[in-house]
Structure 1
Amino acid sequence: MRQELAGGLLIVRASGADAVKAALTGAQSAPERIQLLLGCPVPQAAAFSFGDCSLQTQPGGVVLLTVPEARLTIGFAELRPLMFQPVEVAPALRSVFAGAVAQLLAAGHALDPHGLAHHLLGLAELVLRSALRSELDRSDAAEARRREAVAYMRAHLADPTLSAERIADALFISRRRLYQLFDDGQGVSERIRVMRIEKAKALLADPAKAARGIAEISRDCGFTNATHFSRSFRKLVGETPREFRERAR
């Protein structure tokens, strides 16, 4: 965990009996506490408890901040985009957080514990809200790029040379970034194949295209080989293109 967070990443976790129960049963109840693990420079290892909040620092630059979920003004359901996964934190936010932690380590013994608990709660709110906003912005940007990629695929389905490399070049992104946009178990090549079969189904079921042969429709959908088209169609639809057309009529 320490090595994973060294680059300034944040991991938000749930803790307490309810969190364990939710993990075992899949329940959606809110946990007792929210834990924030953030990689940032810290001057020393320490552990403090202030009321119902706690702060721990580890050598190597890992800070664990624990706060009660019920006292946060942001609901547990809203935090789901951040939960249990490394999230990149902006350098400015890391700097503010690291500075606040360093000050607490230096002067916490001389400050009121009740006031410090409120301070830690506010610090947790700052980190969570800032990270959540950045994560949602990244998700919105990724979804927009994903829609662009799908639109490009749809416009070029008839081109048998359509590939991940061509789509990435058209969108001015790397192939790695393109694959990340479609990291949903289907992938880019499979998505193209499914979209081609869906287009073929629409053409086969269209009475206006009844005079067009199966081979012509396969070419219209980007398949250079009618046999390969029929095999792919049957694998996905469960029947041959001819059987589908007859049933659609």
Structure 2
Amino acid sequence: MSGPRRVPTALEKRFASLSRALGKPAEPEAAEGTQGTEAEVASGYLVVRASGASATRQAIDATRAAKAGAKPGAREPDMVQLAMRASLPKYLPADGIALQFPECALRAHPGGGGQGGVVLLAVAAHKLSISFAELRPLLFQPVPVDRPLQTLFAASVSHLLVVAESLDPHGIKPYLLGLAELVLRSALRTELDRADAIATRRRAAVEYIKQHLSDPSLTAERIAEALFISRRRLYQLFDDGDGVSGRIRQLRIDRARELLSDPAHAVRGVGEISRQCGFANAAHFSRTFRKVVGETPREYRDRVLKR
């Protein structure tokens, strides 16, 4: 019976040197001079996508269907690819290194000066305990990754590259699958928490706007101060539509439509309703209402109340 396989002395020295280097923060790597995937991955972010052009199109179609509330028609892709920047061994070949196994693959491209390289980890979708539907919040967009997870990922990949030649390839595959599982689960949890926090903040902002609709001086700055956030952060909460001012305008129009369609307010003039909804004057109210609704406030009231 043979003894345990000994790691070559040269690899032991590399491993020790790498372990010391990984204790230091990686220098930021500029995107200039990179191509393809390397240019798409920013430091501190994870990019998750379906592997292969056809699978990517299927995933995009499924994402659009999910946003529209429709049942996704695209099938699960064969592979899911993770791309992240990481500190890599300086002695890697200029064109990178690749480890290929059934149902998973690892490619590493060193960055300028051997730091801040890009790692591409592809795994079979059916090997993950997370369904592809659950991964959709991560797809096709840079996902912020906490520093501890960045460090763990970089250390795991770099150490593996150092000693890969001395390891059993059948043992490397479950190691890479487990690493992908860990990164995806951690990133998904962080992203869902962030999305939930954004939704909570947005609801709070909308509620504040509704409570102060009658105030024509309502501004983004006042809303941000009330929520104890910066104006920049407030704008980020409403970057999926017409922005903060657009949301205020829409909520005022919605409120005006409620008042105009209520028989109990039929005797109230358009000017009074415009003031209650926060418009500076009746003329501005009429122009805005017609632009959004397609008819003047009086026309809208007459039509609705005659039903």
Any residues of structure 2 matched to 1:64-213 within 5 Å, and which? 64-213=120-269
Query: In the alignment, residue 110 of structure 2 is paired with which amino acid?
Result: P
What 5-or-longer segments of structure 2 have no aligned partner? Answer: 1-36, 63-72, 112-116
Q: Deviations over 1:81-112 (max 9, x none)?
A: 11111111111111111111122111111111
Q: What residue in structure 2 maps to residue 5 of structure 1?
A: 41
Q: What percentage of residue pairs aligned between the two structures are identical? A: 59
Q: 1:248 to 1:186 in 2, by over 3 A?
A: same
**1: CA distance between counterparts of 2:256 and 2:57?**
48
- Partner SS, residue 81 of structure 2: strand
Q: Give the TM-score taking structure 2 as reference length.
A: 0.77
Q: Deviations over 1:47-86 (max 9, x none)?
A: 1113331111111221111111111111111111111111
Match of 2:83 among 37, 60, 73: 37
Instruction: Name which of structure 1's ranges 153-162 and 47-56 shifts more when overlaid on structure 2.
Output: 47-56
Instruction: Check the 8 A contact 1:204/1:244 in 2, yes or no.
Output: yes
- Partner SS, residue 207 of structure 2: helix
CA RMSD between the two structures: 1.7
Instruction: Check the 8 A contact 2:106/2:121 in 1, yes or no.
Output: yes
- Partner SS, residue 43 of structure 2: coil
- Partner SS, residue 38 of structure 2: coil
Q: Deviations over 1:190-232 (max 9, x none)?
A: 1111111111111112222222111011000011111111111
Q: 1:17 to 1:38 in 2, by over 3 A?
A: closer
Q: What residue in structure 1 maps to residue 304 of structure 2?
A: 248
**2: CA distance between counterparts of 1:13 and 1:202?**
44
Instruction: Check the 8 A contact 2:220/2:231 in 1, yes or no.
Output: yes
Residue 49 of structure 2 is aligned to residue 22 of structure 1: no
What 5-or-longer segments of structure 1 have no aligned partner? Answer: none
**2: CA distance between counterparts of 1:155 and 1:170?**
12
Query: Alpha-carbon deviation of 1:4?
Result: 4.8
Q: Which runs of 4+ in 1 moved over 4 A?
A: 23-27
Tell me how many residue pairs correspond in the alignment.
249
**2: CA distance between counterparts of 1:41 and 1:168?**
38
- Partner SS, residue 38 of structure 1: strand
Q: What residue in structure 2 maps to residue 56 of structure 1?
A: 107
Q: What residue in structure 1 maps to residue 65 of structure 2?
A: none
Query: In the alignment, residue 221 of structure 2 is paired with which amino acid?
Result: E
**2: CA distance between counterparts of 1:11 and 1:203?**
47
Query: Alpha-carbon deviation of 1:25?
Result: 6.7
Instruction: Name which of structure 1's ranges 230-239 and 125-134 shifts more when overlaid on structure 2.
Output: 230-239
